[in-house]
A and B are shown apart, each in its own frame.
Chain A
């Protein structure tokens, strides 16, 4: 199972603190030797200000060795730094928390700054103290405190680089405190920041890997996006709406490119999310929130990407989709599904969704199976789904009921087969299908042309003309 473990690939793209949950998970599923994982944890903790945790880990790993003295020294240092920074930050906080000030603050940051400076003698340097203190708190594990300070800092500061850095810090803090709603919000703003600014500075807080910042803006943006993709996994796989949002984000051209260029292993999560979102796509058609087409066609898109990137990356989850939708080899798909189940169960992000994944994957198999076959042996299908015969029957009945296939599919218990009669789509249906979007698209076109002025006016009437007879056909 260790072959398919992605922790090692992902950790370099995470913050030090974000890696702890991953390592803890590895310790739980124990596919690696405990000793190794603990050592890794210790090495990580050493670089932070979480001395107690580090010491604890140290005693676990080397029970018979005395705790190194340096920790004590560092601790006293840290405590004094803490006090100093707190004092600095407190000065600012006192001002900001004053209700008068809170009311006087406006949208314009420069104006705010001026106001604070005039009335309370607060300078930018002092505000930066908020940032420093926030960062320090983060480094010893007080994430909620860090989030607060960084938030305040961001409201006031005008320094772009530090602001982005604060964004990252806040996101990490939110993730680590488990406030998924806030984290999601933070994630979205951060994404906007990265997308909007071409030369996005590559400044994730307190991480070593970022030091290799390059002057090229495009490259820096790619780096930022790669990081964002990895960090967002925490949010997307914990937030209730996360999977859908993940598809929405990752299938956007820019992020798809990022994944294909710099981190193809993310395809596993993309594929998993696509499979997981099956239920939502089928059930939510009745609910009020319409899903974007991107999510609806997620599977198809993901399959295409998997196919093109096959040479770079494959694991059971992606090969499952490949076997099912490219090769149409149901046996192989079944095999891959069994493997994929295990992979999912062991994956830090996906393990919560094991049941759901399996359920949806089975559904996908049977859907494809039913569409291609006319007469299906229940026993055979059950086998395809890794289910016993009775279970299989129950499952199939549920499936038929759920998906309103009832009209087409009948179970013949005597012969133990399902018969599917799929009448061919009437021709007018296809014509309607084809012409459905035309009116709206033309409208949009017209609006766009109108906006640009006279240039392309010849186009719209032509389309409208041509469309008229089509509509009548409907």
Chain B
């Protein structure tokens, strides 16, 4: 599974299951082989390969990014069974292709999708829509281009209080040799595709403003040898304690960064270390 979301208001965990066209909702704290409390699955859902998910706790909606459908599907938070989405963003005007991350900002009324494209004329980056947009609509803004440093985005996290979007820029090279069960005909027999060890640009966690647009650099970045991050795919935040969390598949690990200044609109807590000193990002 390449997505997960926690709904703090209702204490629920939401996960997409790409291999069974489903979105599962578990109670918070679920453990072991515990059954989900709700399952969204079936032909009416219009899901084909649900890849990523987020929850709009304020507006009671579950938002799904579908990589096969090239679509963003919005369900009622309490949806259960074979039910249609409330809204769909889908079509050539959207610019969406390989959708791998979604985030919502109910305060600024925006919906953000991370989408990758390796075909001519298409963009890789962050596609920002109105929260209630639907149909074949153009994004209100697109954060993409060389200055962004985003080669390949992945999971997103939103901090609506600050109007900030946290982006896991995984940035690894991944050229699938097959289109489903068929070898790609445009690749020569002796092609040398990138290996996991020859992995392209260094990944990072970047922060953008919800109102950013175009080829703009991140307003903050966690990147480099000292971070240990190589290709971070997952990102989550704890604004209260000023922490940023990241997963990295190359490290096969989970990292926590104390960066209270990234949440500057809030109080800046400092962590107290065992030796009595305090530490905060500077």
A and B bound? no
Q: Measuring CB to CB, which residues of chain B are less than 8 angstroms from any residue of chain A?
A: none
